[in-house]
Amino acid sequence: MKKITYIIIPLLISSCASKSTNDLKTDVLIKKIFSKNEIDDLQKVFDFFNNEICNSNNQKLNECYNNYCLEIRSQIEKNVVFNTGLNFEKQKKLYEKLRNSTFKEIWSFQQSLPIRERKDTLKYLGLNYNGKYRKFLNESGNENKAIKNYAQAFNVNADLGPSMIAELGMNYKTFNTQDLKTKLIIAIHYLTLNDQNWRNEKY
């Protein structure tokens, strides 16, 4: 599996936003697909990402997402590559707070095969094709055409492929970033890419 590389540029970091727009258990589809324990863990993932991208306690969550996505698109337009701006050491500590069963409903470790001068097979974090998160993507797509296309690309590639990265990076506005489900998808998308960029462990 090819390891994705990004240019390192410091980005938005801090804490965030009002809980009224931040509570995953208020969403009907999320409650339909995930168990209470899984939603508790997803909330930890979501809160972590929100705290990373909001630059003040008073900043509204919609503004955080718009600014973050705009920054990603600006980097792509300028440099082709981009940096997620997320703290990977903190992200690894986040994983420790999650139930293993919940982690597997979202992600799975795959093999990044030796390439060029690298001789080791490394761990590579991808979205779990057989997890509940894929079902969540597909059903979210019934409400949003951009997410539907994103989910269909995942269904075909069984991985977080280049078209998904480019589409969300460049055309984030079509995803409706004000929607709670879209915010969760953005969070998991960029946390996954951040892990792929920084993880360096033998498989």
The model's pLDDT over 64-86, given as tens digits with 9 standing for 90+, comes to 999 999 999 999 999 989 999 99
Q: What residues make up the domain containing 112?
A: 25-198
pLDDT digits 0-9 by tens, 130-167: 999 999 999 999 999 999 999 999 999 999 999 999 99
Query: Is residue 100 situated within a structural domain?
Result: yes
Query: Taking a C-beta distance cutoff of 8 angstroms, is the pair 30, 43 a contact?
Result: no
Does 10 have pLDDT greater than 50? no
Q: How many domains does the chain have?
A: 1
pLDDT for residue 17: 41
For range 30-44, the mean pLDDT? 98
Query: Is residue 1 situated within a structural domain?
Result: no
Query: Is residue 131 situated within a structural domain?
Result: yes
Does 12 have pLDDT greater than 90? no
Query: CA–CA separation, 142 vs 185, rounded Å?
Result: 14
State whether residue 64 is helix, strand or coil.
Answer: helix
Does 15 have pLDDT greater than 50? no
Query: Taking a C-beta distance cutoff of 8 angstroms, is the pair 107, 196 a contact?
Result: no
Does 116 have pLDDT greater than 70? no
Query: CA–CA separation, 154 vs 193, rounded Å?
Result: 14
pLDDT digits 0-9 by tens, 176-197: 999 999 999 999 999 999 999 9
Does 6 have pLDDT greater than 80? no
pLDDT for residue 202: 83
Average pLDDT over all residues of the chain: 89
Query: Is residue 2 situated within a structural domain?
Result: no
Amino acid symbol at 150? Y
Query: Is residue 10 situated within a structural domain?
Result: no
Does 16 have pLDDT greater than 80? no
What CA dihedral angle connects 13, 19, 24 and 26, to 10 degrees? -160
Rg of the chain over Cα atoms, rounded to whole angstroms, equals: 16
Instruction: Output the pTM of the full model.
Output: 0.87
Query: Is residue 94 situated within a structural domain?
Result: yes
Q: Name the residue with tokens 């409706």.
A: 176
Q: Comparing C-alpha atoms, which of 200, 188, 186, 193 is closest to residue 65?
A: 186
Query: Is residue 105 situated within a structural domain?
Result: yes
Query: Is residue 17 situated within a structural domain?
Result: no
